[in-house]
Amino acid sequence: MHDVVKRRIVNPTQLIPHASSIGYALFTVINATQIWGGVFPFLPKDFQTDEVTLTFYLAQTIAFCTAFVASTFGSYYFPAQARKMLISLSAGMVLVGSSCVIAAMYIPVYTIAFVLAGGISTGVGTAGFFMLWQRYFSSIEAEASNYRLILGAAAACACYFALYLIPIALTAFLIPVVMLPICALCLSLSAREMDFDQPMFEDVPREHPQVYMQVIKDSKASALCVAALAFASGLARGVAVINPQISDVVNFASMAGLLLAAATLLALWLTSSVRFGLRTVFRGVYPIVITGLFLFPFMQKVGLSLFAGLTYMAFSLVTLIMMMQCAQTSRDRGTNPVFVYGFFGSAAYIAQGIGFLLGWFANDIEILGVGQTALLSIVAAYVLGMALFVSTSAKGHDAPKRIDRIEFLTPPLALHRKSASAALGIGDEKPDSSEEPENTDGNTAGIRIDANATSKKTPMRKQEQGTTTSPRSARRFEGTDHVITDRLSKQCIVVREKHGLSSRETEVMELVARGKSMASIAEELFISENTVRTHCKHIYSKLDIHSRQELSDLVSNTKL
């Protein structure tokens, strides 16, 4: 992570679990028992033959990937249908899938048929749940979305590990009969607070395909990073399918990685304001993963378990970040959340499926004297290295016009409390003119935003989107997409930090302050006019203003 900015005041009520956190925690446990490691960790070992296991995983993988691809295209060509909350259908598919696997144990004559049907039903139903949760978390405010998602991920780990305390015979029935209905109920309750009048739901993609093409262009590097880690985890999954001991390691490492991710993000929320994206996270975990891939071949049989555990731990972390970033992209750009998440998910899970097949075929083989662990490590390291190279080498026209980042900003309640204190004379919001304000864009040292104080500015990069602005006049704060061109740009940054605006809202605010029309703003930012209006409503609410003129006056009167 990077761009640590400043201390924040936390509202204790935000830590209270919400129905969505509970529901998402239960869904993650259901997913972990049926997708990551199959329901097999909680079924008798004699049932887990190679034929049964491989049939289930192949059916489930194909159905899961197909559902993601179908959702992506379906949300583009049939957006009205994507508005429907098909909770009962998704829950029903998962219930049928779990029931089929259980039935396969008691009706041996039709074991393979039941397992095949169970894999297909589980794959489609789980993919449907993923889309439903993504739509919910995209529809609410960013802070509430991220915090509920993080708390749900943390709770899922405790719930999953608790399953090992329950007899196996009971656990197999507990998941579909108890946990699944509660999960569906929590999702139904959470869906009641969704606002379907937002641009992301009202949007008709075919009316402005350039917006969606731009989303794909700007997101393809991040999707490639996720796909590379998914491929590595797929290799591990292919090995784990026919090795119960490694399968247990995969399940444990998946949840451990999710717990680590949730704890890290929660700590960042409690202590700092941060901005980060998927590529930042990928670059952070890459050295750890690549070091492990280099060392594992020297550890003989233990190395294979460590390979499986580390790759799945990294993948679990990235999938949580992927969900948060996709939600941010939908809010910032007003695009259908199913389309964005479907695009990322398709790339990730197709890559994982390919890795799964290669990992399974590579079982107990040796090529040119290279053993299984070394072979898998070499393939995974090559794919991860290529993804890192491609994602960091884009320049000029290949560079993304915008990198959507997850933002943990100062909570509005903290800002309101600060303003109230200043109004009552308890505190003073105005900083001493002799002190330099905190930098909020990636440098932990204090920085005065002043046109003449060039010696104290953060190192900045030239704008790379083909603008004619000179390098000395157009500057970009490291870690953000906000370009500094003149005094107005600097004033917008001050307003952003004072009132807790997001990066996208700051971009819109500056363009509005410059007198640009809704249509020109939409064209420049590759979003729809409805999305621009929505951002303006949020800006006006946070700034407590009601018109363009008030916004222009507020920005122009802001002191640097």
What pLDDT, in 10s, does the model give residues 394-435? 666 666 777 778 887 654 444 334 433 433 343 333 333 333
Burial class of residue 430 (count of CB atoms within 10 Å of its CB; 0-12, 13-18, 19+): exposed
Q: Map out the domains of the chain as residue ranges.
A: 12-406, 430-556
499 backbone φψ class: left, alpha, beta (φ>0; ψ -120 to 50): alpha
- Over 189-231, what HEC string results? HHHCCCCCCCHHHHCCHHHCHHHHHHHHHHHHHHHHHHHHHHH
Our separate counts of H helices and E strands in the chain read 21, 4
Pairing of strands 475-476, 406-408: unpaired
Question: H/E element holding 176?
Answer: none
Domain 12-406: CATH architecture, name and number where available: Up-down Bundle (1.20)
**Pairing outcome for strands 406-408 and 274-276:** antiparallel
What is the secondary structure of 380-447 as a DSSP string? HHHHHHHHHHHHH---GGGS-S----EEEPPPHHHHHHHHHHHHTTSS--SPPTTSPPBP-SS--SB-
57 vs 97: CA distance, rounded Å: 12
- Under DSSP, the state recorded for 368 is T
Taking only the tens place, the pLDDT of each residue in 246-289 is 777 777 888 888 898 899 888 887 777 778 889 989 999 999 99
- Residues 6 or more apart from 165 whose CB is under 8 A from it? none
| Contact of 554 with 548, CB cutoff 8 Å | no
- The answer to whether the CB of 362 falls within 8 A of the CB of 275 is no
Strand, coil or helix: what is 534?
helix
Q: What does the DSSP 8-state code read for residue 456?
A: G
Fold equal for 12-406 and 430-556: no
Does the predicted TM-score (pTM) go above 0.75?
Answer: yes
Q: What percent of the chain has pLDDT over 70?
A: 79
On the question of pLDDT at 438 being above 50, the answer is no
Task: Cite the DSSP H helix spans in 12-86.
Answer: 19-31, 50-77, 79-82
Torsion angle, CA of 460/465/471/476, rounded to 10 degrees?
-20
Alpha-carbon distances, residue 320 vs 150, 151, 156, 313, 500 (angstroms): 8, 11, 12, 11, 24
Confidence band, pLDDT 50/70/90 cuts, at residue 152:
very high
pLDDT in tens, 336-348: 999 999 999 999 9
pLDDT in tens, 195-241: 888 888 888 888 888 889 989 999 999 999 999 999 999 888 888 77
- Residue 20 CA to residue 17 CA, distance in Å, equals 8
In angstroms, what CA-CA distances link 540 with 174, 211, 509, 529, 550? 49, 25, 9, 16, 9
SS3 (DSSP) at 548: helix
Query: For residue 480, with 0-12 CB atoms within 10 Å meaning exposed, 13-18 middle and 19 or more buried, which class applies?
Result: buried
E strand or H helix that includes residue 484: strand 483-484
Q: Would the pLDDT of 514 be above 70?
A: yes
Planar angle of CA 436, 441, 445, nearest 5 degrees? 40
> Whose structure tokens read 């930090």?
497
How high is the pLDDT of residue 349?
93
Rounded-to-integer distance, Cα 343 and Cα 278, Å: 14
Could you give the CA distance from residue 318 to residue 146 in angstroms, rounded to a whole number? Answer: 14
**Residues forming beta bridges with residue 370, ordered by sequence position:** 367
Q: What is the pLDDT of residues 74-121, one digit of tens each?
A: 999 988 777 777 899 999 999 999 899 888 888 888 999 999 999 999
Contacts of residues 523-526 at CB distance under 8 Å and 24 or more positions apart, as own/partner, are 525/402, 526/210, 526/211, 526/214, 526/215, 526/333, 526/401, 526/402
Q: What is the CATH number of domain 430-556?
A: 1.10.10.10
CA distances from 203 to 158, 196, 199, 529 (A): 39, 11, 5, 10
Please compute, for residue 511, the number of CA atoms within 13 A of its CA located in the half-sphere on the CB side: 22
Residue 385 above 60 pLDDT?
Answer: yes
